Structure 1
Amino acid sequence: MPSDESFVAVTCTAPVNIAVIKYWGKRDEELILPLNSSLSVTLHQDQLRTTTTAAISRDFLEDRIWLNGQEEDVEQPRLQACLREIRRLARKCGSTGDEDQHLLTPGPSDRVHVASVNNFPTAAGLASSAAGFACLAYTLARIYGVEGDLSEVARRGSGSACRSLYGGFVEWQMGQRADGRDSVAWQVASESHWPQLRVLILVVSAERKPTGSTVGMQTSVQTSDLLKFRAEALVPARMAEMARCIQERDFPGFAKLTMQDSNQFHATCLDTFPPISYLNDTSQRIMQLVHRFNAHHGQTKVAYTFDAGPNAVIFTLEDTMAEFVAVVRHVFPPEANGDKFLKGLPVTPVPVSDDLKATLAMEPVPRGVQYIIATQVGPGPQVLDDPDVHLLGQDGLPKPRPAA
């Protein structure tokens, strides 16, 4: 067991982000440089977050990492890329640790143990890798005493992770430099900018997606003409328009563009050869439900977007959330009691009018949606100062996890 004098641990959390202008495809696989810029919404960590503890001791003989309680291969290339980059920055700035946090003075060569847990499904198309690598980068920076922008560190683990380094609404600039130094994330608007905006995660499947994002992107870059057209001809104008919608809190404009970009991203996946399909029948039914709901009201009151998976992310405003939750419950009836169908923010139950049911004209599909997570826009990574929350014990090994 490491001695108390040589052991240092830091625990941080980081959020999920959901892209409303999608990133798909890289121009440089090693540096993780995207074909196009992207823009995302950071979700609140009260509902979706990654928690990571990093511990350093001069008694550790090797780097080790655990994810959701299972030890993973520390030689995984993306993980090694993050470790190399953070240690390079630590050497560059001559880090001596954070004196104010009573850390020791770990050097870049000191071995590190890392434990990370998600409170949401992993590898199911809910941006778990973005939250995970953002949290890793942020936590490692704290323990190695690295300051400044961490876009490159997080990006080397998972491209979209750099967007999870900030709260609110975030742009990842594709950049132009071959070395990727200008491919960074920055905050378009803070988490307090649009307080009425709400987000509903409709979990259709918590299973691991059949085609991983990395492989899917590589195949699309090699075979999809639509991907090239999208990146060069369409995304730049969409980025500018989305930024305007956010700044002006123009929900109908934000919603329409969010849905259009999601549809085109999945069209690009179908244009890939062999084609990639991340959506299932329930996903398609949710899209239909959204459009019929909006048609009933004669205005765009809800929007969907889908990342690389079947789970829907719904954007709406606070005054519409309860009605749409009731509609989802009507079309996708949960288990008999349904007590665990809605998680996260409280939503006051409301009835679905007969007129709305008639407009929807959709036969119920029991348990098509497993559950809903209600959340809102939230802040970027946080440091947890309470040592009791560390995921690693003084021996550098994961603490026993409480039963679910």
Structure 2
Amino acid sequence: IEDTELSINHPYYDVARHGIVQLAGDDNSGRRVVTFSCCRMPPSHQLNHSRLLEYLRYTLDQYVENDYTLVYFHYGLNSRNKPSLNWLQSAYKEFDRKYKKNLKALYVVHPTNFIKILWNIFKPLISHKFGKKITYLNYLSDLREHLKYDQLNIPEDVIRHDQNLRDKQKGRPPPLAKLPPPRPPLPTQQFGVSLQYLKDKNKGQLIPPVMKQTVSYLKSKGLRVEGLFRRSASIQTMKEVHKLYNQGKPVNFDDYGDVHIPAVVLKTFLRELPQPLLTFESYDQILGITGVESSLRVTSCKQVIQGLPEHNYVVLKYLICFLHMVSQESIYNKMTGSNLACVFGLNLIWPPKGASSLSALNPLNLFTELLIDFYPNIFSSRTVPGEILP
């Protein structure tokens, strides 16, 4: 996801064009993932490290209000591009509590002796609580346990380095077993299957059961919960809920005592659709929203929505109607249309290959915000037989 789409006049273009800092989808708990790739850092004389620090803050500022995950690819850091220890120390101090609090996991991939030396230097500065968030991973395959690996756009240099490390292992382990062909979905499957599949298996119901239940629960018990949709849930709980849904067994969210669990389930359901709710075909149109005159943007959104397949339109209308309700209670839940858009934008639309670049966030979030804020206008002129609203 090269971040070269920023205008050359953008204040961070000089740093962003290297693709050092990138957005990489979500982890297994629905938290946004940001990656930092050392191999993309040019020699120090070509990179203003102060600007890099500013850009990293600029990127994280979009997520620090929500739980997020950071993946640090260490390979490629060398004497030519390595920042000074003084810079590293000032950088750590620069990121105050708001950046550290909601950072739920920091994965350091391919650590070296340099990392161990750094740890000893910084140990007096790093709190025990923050230190527990750091996980060292020797191989890329270890990421699969924690993240949606296929959403990561890992630099080719890092992939080659990982393979070299494996080849150098004494006794070279047996090659990774070939993955078996994908099994057909269960008749009761709810996650990772198409809207059409769900409709066929649920006697023609247009709104998927998992969406209907989570929205109903959140409408009754979550509308005034501060930070709704901003928090993550434990991986174990999410696995349990997914399994229940996919086996067609009842899910009682009262049993978990946490309103954020159905909120994460709803986001995860959307993200695991084989095709985004707004469809791949609409991606380029949506990216163009920032180039539309402000007074015409709602009309432009309406045109995109009118072009959606009927089923996608009905499900989207159901969801946006609910999110509009949530935004109407923002005095309590602090979730305005803008805040909700930051959470849901990338769960409604993503490119056919890879994840969206950082520069795509602005138009994707703007489009989603318009849908939420202007819901009555945008969805007023098209109705479908059998559609329901929350």
Task: Provide the TM-score with structure 1 as the length reference.
Answer: 0.29
Q: Which structure shows the higher strand fraction?
A: 1
Name the structure where helix makes up a greater proportion of residues.
Answer: 2
Higher relative contact order (CA 8 A, sep 6+): 1
TM-score normalised according to structure 2 size: 0.29
